[in-house]
Amino acid sequence: MSKPASTPARRFMKLAGMTASIATKAVSNRIQSRYASEEEKATQRQQLLEQIGVQIADTLGEMKGAVMKVGQIASQYQDIFPPEIAKAMARLQRQAPPVPFATIQQQVEKELGKSLSSLFARFEQEPFAAASIGQVHRAVLHSGQPVVVKVQYPGVDECCESDLKQIRMALRLAGVLKIDRALQDELFREIETSLHEELDYTHEAHNLALFAAFHAPLDAQLVIPRVFPEFSSRRVLTLSEEKGDSIEQAAQYPLEVRNQIGQRLFSMMGQQIFFLRQFHCDPHPGNFAFRPDGSVVVYDFGCTKVLPESVAQHYRKLVSAARRNHIPDLETELRGLKVRTEQGQVPAEFYKQWLSLLLPPVNEPFDFAQSTLHHEAVKLGRKSLKYWDCFQPSGDTMMINRSVSGHYWNMVALKVQENFEPLVSRLIIAPLETHSTET
């Protein structure tokens, strides 16, 4: 593996080289397709996208920092990127290689203003997790308290803005963003805001305290690590060590425990979205740990989203309309969420087909271990292409979609067999009915 680009100038040159190469490929493809049949054009376009996807993934995979994080985020939005691009970029979800310990030690001592030995009784040199913008080490305070220390790679925040501009330019020149310029601006602002928040560990420390205070009276078995402020800064975050099993290990728990965990994850998501109106929106399984008593440990509160009350209400009404199969109300709420465009007419049958697919997991007993929903959604999506211009991704819904789809896969991995309808009624529908009665 080649040495990661570290300085802003080197990163800029590497990304600019990728952008130029992609632009050349795109121009060449347009020239070659000029006299090709429609079938040949489609084949050439698919081959181009596959080549571009591999090139982007290879380049970003060699670079730590914001640009790799953008790639990781992008890989989760197949409604924004062609599947060939998203599939290639999904490789970036794998764990990143760690940086040398000397670099980590220097960063900790610079941020906290003391030597490592005066700060910690023990500090493991080998990280147990390494990601795009930092890595995590186990340590022990002089008080004997076991902790984990999250350390941001030096210089990552300095490269954030230029990295983001370069990757957007590359995708735009390649013609792979399937949305108009105004919506691109909105979504990339969303990504930029998310990146800046993740790069500020004091922001994450605040989130940890906020979510812990919110959930403590609701569920003692939802565990959120405690922050040690005197051992934390903008680029170093020290937390209580909260152990648990991986999702693969939890999948071997008895069904009753797995269902408890499923209920806990679903309830957590609903409480945050509809009551706290700020939610943990990085549902990657590595951000959770599980215990045989049904407890769930939640890590990484760097990526959260504050939800306006109006958006939460649109979602409540959307779910209500879906459960009633009331298509006019459903379309009204989709317009309110800026998902339904002003283009064209969409027949009721289109919505009914999607509802018959999407409602069962939240409306009746459902076996996630046997779920084929994701396969059926792909098939139905292909049939729905003629209505493509009638819908668009929305900045208000992007992170919610990310959370819902991520937790769907967590339920599949845990082989949950549960009926979530009572939770939907309690968390989403009942407050809507109460609000209607009051008004």
Question: What contacts 24+ positions apart, CB below 8 Å, involve 3-11?
Answer: 4/62, 4/63, 4/64, 5/62, 5/63, 6/155, 7/155, 8/155, 8/158, 8/159, 8/162, 11/63, 11/65, 11/67, 11/159, 11/162, 11/163
Name the residue among 343, 272, 255, 300 with its Cα closest to residue 132. 300
Question: Are the CB atoms for 88 and 56 separated by under 8 Å?
Answer: yes
Catalytic status, residue 293: no
Cα end-to-end span (Å), the chain: 62
Q: What is the spatial distance between Cα 240 and Cα 231, in angstroms, rounded to a whole number?
A: 11
Q: What is the DSSP letter of 236?
A: E
Residue of 282, 293, 329, 389 with catalytic role: 282
**297 beta partners:** 223, 289
Residue type, 262: G
> Cα 73 from chain centroid?
6
Angle at 268 between CA 263 and CA 273, to 5 degrees: 130
What are the residues whose beta carbons fall under 8 Å from the beta carbon of 84, sequence distance 6 or more? 46, 49, 50, 52, 53
Q: What is the spatial distance between Cα 122 and Cα 220, in angstroms, rounded to a whole number?
A: 30
User: Burial level of 98, CB count in 10 A (0-12/13-18/19+)?
Assistant: buried
How far from 33 is each of 8, 29, 42, 261, 325, CA to CA, in Å? 37, 6, 9, 52, 44
Helix (H) or strand (E) holding 67: helix 66-74
Catalytic residue annotation? 282
